């Protein structure tokens, strides 16, 4: 099979990955009283369209990057999981428009998801590694972590904050793009939050800058900019097909290699502005 060019890959993503979220009318949720807690509208009715967006990976190489001002200059900023801004503003900025969280963060005791102020800013979007089928019933009976229980609790405590749940079809549509563009078989685990968030922002923004997803000259084994723990797998992947994700993003990058080297910055077009 022929290797697709960056523009061809971008068009595949635009055509084949649709950002959808759970709505109260979807089965089996429609039959549950708490379905009314789900936003009835698509994400794009609350958010955007934005001109420029920043996707801030949680990589350790953001440390001492001094990218905070540049990141905050975007119209919207997406961050992941438990990544803080307080105390790290110089390197990662302070604006948070969207926080994409995995279900592990929602469920694990040490993240204090229900009470920590970290999660109360901006729009929340949650996701859970669903069975490959993307069948909502199958997923509902077999979530990785108790995403729905925690969602209901959080919504009761913070009813005013916009909070979406990503439809599992998004993970597997994106996974399929990765697999179809790689020569080897890839483990059937969903893409990382970082890639999901990048595609999410490509659906809401004219231009997307992704920071330290492709590591800069600051590349380090430090896992997160906000923790002292080191593991190269955080950057290269273990569970998530991270190395393949990064390969695809590198091919789609419209910025220069120099931008990657100095700023860890990738430039991707938004879907609405990209002509296929």
Query: Contact residues for ligand NCC (CB under 6 A)?
Result: 57-60, 80-82, 102, 104-105, 192-194, 213, 223-224, 234-235, 239-240
Residue closer to ligand NCC (CB basis): 9 or 223: 223
Residue closer to ligand NCC (CB basis): 29 or 105: 105
Residue nearest ligand NCC by beta-carbon distance: 194
Least distance (Å) from ligand NCC to the CB of residue 230?
A: 10
Least distance (Å) from ligand NCC to the CB of residue 129?
A: 9
Least distance (Å) from ligand NCC to the CB of residue 81?
A: 4
Least distance (Å) from ligand NCC to the CB of residue 227?
A: 9
Least distance (Å) from ligand NCC to the CB of residue 28?
A: 25
Residue closer to ligand NCC (CB basis): 104 or 134: 104
Residue closer to ligand NCC (CB basis): 9 or 59: 59
Angle formed at CA 206 by CA 205 and CA 212, multiple of 5 degrees = 70
Least distance (Å) from ligand NCC to the CB of residue 1?
A: 26
Residue closer to ligand NCC (CB basis): 37 or 198: 198
Asked if residues 189 and 241 have their Cβ atoms less than 8 Å apart, the reply is: yes
Residue closer to ligand NCC (CB basis): 148 or 213: 213
Calpha distance 92→102 (Å, rounded) = 20
């Amino acid at each position: 099979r022929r290797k697709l060019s960056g523009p061809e890959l971008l068009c595949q993503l635009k055509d084949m990955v649709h950002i959808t979220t759970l709505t109260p009318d979807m089965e089996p949720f429609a039959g549950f009283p708490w379905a009314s807690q789900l936003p009835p509208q698509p994400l794009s009715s609350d958010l955007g369209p934005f001109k420029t967006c920043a996707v801030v990976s949680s990589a350790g190489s953001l440390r001492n990057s001094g990218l905070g001002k540049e990141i905050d200059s975007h119209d919207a900023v997406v961050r992941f999981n438990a990544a803080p801004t307080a105390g790290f503003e110089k390197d990662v900025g302070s604006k948070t428009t969207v926080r994409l969280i995995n279900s592990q963060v929602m469920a694990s005791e040490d993240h204090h998801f229900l009470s920590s102020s970290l999660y109360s800013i901006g729009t929340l979007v949650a996701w859970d590694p669903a069975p490959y089928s993307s069948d909502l019933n199958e997923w509902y009976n077999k979530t990785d972590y108790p995403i729905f229980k925690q969602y209901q609790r959080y919504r009761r405590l913070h009813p005013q904050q916009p909070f979406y749940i990503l439809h599992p079809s998004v993970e597997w549509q994106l996974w399929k793009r990765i697999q179809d563009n790689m020569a080897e078989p890839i483990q059937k685990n969903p893409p990382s939050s970082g890639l999901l968030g990048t595609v999410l922002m490509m659906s809401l923004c004219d231009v997307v800058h992704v920071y330290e997803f492709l590591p800069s000259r600051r590349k380090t084994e430090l896992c997160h900019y906000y923790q002292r723990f080191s593991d190269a797998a955080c950057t290269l992947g273990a569970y998530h097909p991270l190395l393949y994700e990064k390969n695809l993003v590198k091919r789609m990058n419209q910025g220069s290699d120099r931008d990657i080297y100095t700023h860890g910055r990738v430039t991707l077009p938004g879907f609405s502005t990209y002509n296929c």
